[in-house]
Structure 1
Amino acid sequence: MNLLLTITSTIHDWLFDIMPVGAASFVEMLLIALAYLTVFAVAGLYLVLLERKVAAWFQLRYGPNRVGPAGMFQTMADAIKLVSKEMYGTNRADKFLYNLAPYFPIVTALLAMAVIPFSEQFQAFDINIGIFFLLAVSSIGVIGILLGGWASNNKYSLIGAMRSGLQVVSYELSVGLSLLTMVVLTGSLQLSEIIELQKNGWLIVQGHIPAIIAFIIFMIAGTAETNRAPFDLVEAESELGAGFHTEYSGMKFAYFFLAEFINMFIISCIAVIVFFGGWLSPFGITDEITWFPSVLWFLGKVLVMVFLMMWFRWTFPRLRVDQLLNLEWKYLLPINLFNLVLMAVVVWLGWTITY
């Protein structure tokens, strides 16, 4: 990634040469925001395409194959369609909250992406409380779903929003505890430092059985927190029409739809960073090759995690509400608490694997 570092350094030096310090810093922040918005939009569009292709592969049928080569531009055509659609809403909706709600999932997803280290040089905001920041930001997104469901003045939307609230509050515990288990192993909340600690081996290997258990629980709870099948009671079509976004259309609907796929991407990124070495190559294959873009290793691992979450969707049937809550409170949470103590014992006794 030396090329990326050279480009960013050149732009930085050029801006500070032609502008005052304050103006140059402001323009630099705007350029960074534009770069992340571009990554956000492209990732969202092509994750939707990947979902359709994976679904077609599992169901032995053709996926999108008309717009562009092999259907590559199908989701772009869908985005143009959504932009051009009429915005409508119910007469008795709370207009302000109804219009405000779709921005919460989008903004929180962007905030979360800002601290994700795609490579050693490609990270907008490297803070020493990275995992804590991600947990805090991810808990805000549900506010948009609650507001949208309530403000729509639709009983199906309200039921979907209430389900989302109880689901996110429940499964955030397991997400947080599984990550806390790995924090006990690493002794750090900083994402870049956690990756650096894995130069001698991925944490899922260094942490023995507790790390494997933490990974399994994190993927289950992360899938539930993003409201994806088999935990998609929030937008169960057979029961609620479309759930919390029943009364949304056009780009407002697209915001909710896009945020779900970006949140899936973010959960996959966190799993790769905390358990599978982030941008580091397996067994140090290319870590010493300066010209090889380490971001490719990161994105490759993330795509594997995304595929795993899509595999869940097309394999398991939707859970009932009682099954959803039983899984968390009777099984995942007690296992997580025991696993946290077990990891503390492993670290205390010095049983972690080092190379």
Structure 2
Amino acid sequence: MSSTLAALPEVVSLATAGTDNPRADFSDTPLWLSLVKALVIFVYLLLSTLLVIWFERRVIGRMQQRPGPNRNGPFGLLQTLADGMKSMLKEDVRPKAADVVVFTLAPLITATMAFVSFAIMPLGGEVSMFGHRTPLQLTDTPVAVLVVLAVAGVGIYGVVLAGWSSGSTYPLIGGLRSSAQMISYEIAMGLSLVGVFLYAGSMSTSQIVSAQRDLWFVVPAFFSFFVYVITMVGETNRLPFDLAEGEGELTGGFHTEYGSMRFAMFFLGEYINMFTVAALATTMFLGGYAAPPGVSLIADGMFATGWWGIFWFTVKLWMFMFVFVWLRGSLPRVRYDQFMRFGWKFLIPATLGWVVLIAFFRAGQNGWLGGNVVLAGRTFPITSLFLVGVIAVGALVAGWFWDRRAERKEAALHPTIPDEIDPYAGGFPVPPLPGQRLREPSLTAPALTSGSDTKEDARG
């Protein structure tokens, strides 16, 4: 496994040979300027969180034909700030059976990891700040996207520890359910990004943005984009996938026992994670801070360079935030077993097949389809790998159809028939099926004839 992971960058570079996308240059960025940019990102995310909570309340209020917040400040803009102050002043209650240290550490992990992931997001191109030429990005590495996935994996510990340390049944079940959900959909999320790596020839976020200067990857990697949008909703525990917080089943999920600022930190972490996955989608599929097609032709590209990158990046970011809000106001919560089955039996196999197709498509474009490729120190002929890929995709599709066929056959052989039925349920008499018996009708059931007031009258 370690040798395969070590060979991954080499495979990506081999599959996309010939690309020329420079990485962001931080040579003229002193340490104090990096601290300034970190502070700017922190303030940017905090203000965005305050605004998006207000935005969500107002949009859903309009969708449900009711007013949103409209008292504190103009148009209710200060309502979120008032709620934050209320959380700071509330009494901090902790369960008696809770583990004190871990109970406090869990929300800190969730909130901190949410901020860390934004450090590698390119908010704009190179600009002049305090006499230095520096990119509007805190840092970048050759494997920056893997850093985001790794940080997201660490953030899951906050959910697990919150459920365990509460010393209560419902938080424990909610923590286990949420961690299983997040881990499962991280796999499909990571696989959906592999197609972008193959097109860009790099895992660096600045190089990926640079590779989209002619064509955004949402076009050639459309299926990867489709899978990523689904997985980013599941990864952030948002409706219709907020299964860890099913009020009818688990009260409040892993943070049932939390209140005051501890709960506010979970709340903050959820919204920051929404911005993180939306920023990653913008960077990987929508050209990052690049202006939309056609804008560069206006005024000699004045609105497509420099500080304008932050504007275009923010516009694309808020497009995804609107999708989050729209889904919450439109769709009901799915069932947990259906959600997990969809992830493991459809998204992951389908994304694996898509990655294989992209790999061979890129291999044909770069002209080495008839040669050999080196994987983990071994040489394999391309023809053999192609046959293996076709067989693997065929096996995945056949397995999926076989599983669905087995489920239908099992349901047909063992139909679920209740032992007894109420023939008057729903207002209409229903005859029993073989093996069923009639339940004694209640006095409140509807009458059989329009001229009778009760069932007894109808029988008489």
State if a TM-score over 0.5 links the two structures.
Answer: yes
1:52 aligns with 57
C-alpha separation between the residues in 2 aligned to 1:291 and 1:270? 20
1:82 aligns with 87
Amino acid at match of 1:261: Y
The alpha carbon displacement at 1:291 in A equals 6.2
1:20 aligns with none
Contact 1:199 / 1:284 at 8 angstroms: preserved in 2? no
The alpha carbon displacement at 1:37 in A equals 2.2
C-alpha separation between the residues in 2 aligned to 1:151 and 1:88? 14
1:179-218 equivalent positions in 2, closer than 5 A: 179-205=193-219, 207=220, 211-218=221-228
C-alpha separation between the residues in 1 aligned to 2:179 and 2:265? 19
Amino acid at match of 2:284: V
Contact 2:124 / 2:307 at 8 angstroms: preserved in 1? no
Amino acid at match of 2:342: L
Q: How many residues are matched?
A: 325
2:242 aligns with 232
Task: Name the Cα RMSD after superposition.
Answer: 1.7
1:1-355 equivalent positions in 2, closer than 5 A: 25=31, 27-120=32-125, 121-205=135-219, 207=220, 211-286=221-296, 288-289=301-302, 290=305, 293-350=308-365
Amino acid at match of 1:115: I
Report the 3-state secondary structure (helix = DSSP H, G, I; strand = E; otherwise coil) of the residue aligned with 1:134. Answer: helix
Cα deviation digits, residues 102-152 of structure 1 (max 9, x gap): 011111111101111111121111111111111111111110011011100
C-alpha separation between the residues in 2 aligned to 1:193 and 1:80? 41
Amino acid at match of 2:328: R
The alpha carbon displacement at 1:317 in A equals 1.3
C-alpha separation between the residues in 2 aligned to 1:83 and 1:118? 31
C-alpha separation between the residues in 2 aligned to 1:111 and 1:294? 21
The alpha carbon displacement at 1:34 in A equals 2.7
Moved more, 40-49 or 251-260: 40-49
Amino acid at match of 2:162: G
C-alpha separation between the residues in 1 aligned to 2:285 and 2:222? 9
Cα deviation digits, residues 250-290 of structure 1 (max 9, x gap): 11100001111111111111111111101101115148315
Q: Which has the higher strand share?
A: 2
**TM-score of the superposed pair, with normalisation by structure 1:** 0.88
C-alpha separation between the residues in 2 aligned to 1:126 and 1:327? 34
The alpha carbon displacement at 1:292 in A equals 5.8
**TM-score of the superposed pair, with normalisation by structure 2:** 0.68
Residues 41 and 343 of structure 1, relative CA distance in 2, 3 Å threshold: same
The alpha carbon displacement at 1:28 in A equals 4.5
Amino acid at match of 2:261: M
Contact 1:174 / 1:328 at 8 angstroms: preserved in 2? yes
Cα deviation digits, residues 322-347 of structure 1 (max 9, x gap): 11111101111111011111111221
Report the 3-state secondary structure (helix = DSSP H, G, I; strand = E; otherwise coil) of the residue aligned with 2:330. Answer: coil
Amino acid at match of 1:232: D
Cα deviation digits, residues 153-203 of structure 1 (max 9, x gap): 111111110001110111011100001111111111000111111111211
The alpha carbon displacement at 1:309 in A equals 2.0
Amino acid at match of 1:145: V
The alpha carbon displacement at 1:40 in A equals 2.4
Structure index of larger Rg: 2
Cα deviation digits, residues 292-339 of structure 1 (max 9, x gap): 622111100111111112222222211111111111011111110111
The alpha carbon displacement at 1:29 in A equals 4.9
Unpaired runs of 5+ residues, structure 1, are: 1-8, 13-23
Contact 2:37 / 2:137 at 8 angstroms: preserved in 1? no
Residues 166 and 292 of structure 1, relative CA distance in 2, 3 Å threshold: closer
1:5 aligns with none
Contact 1:234 / 1:244 at 8 angstroms: preserved in 2? yes
Contact 1:286 / 1:292 at 8 angstroms: preserved in 2? no
Q: Which has the higher contact order (CA 8 A, sep 6+)?
A: 1
C-alpha separation between the residues in 2 aligned to 1:57 and 1:118? 31
Moved more, 270-279 or 234-243: 234-243
Identity over the aligned pairs, expressed in percent?
37
Q: Which has the higher helix share?
A: 1
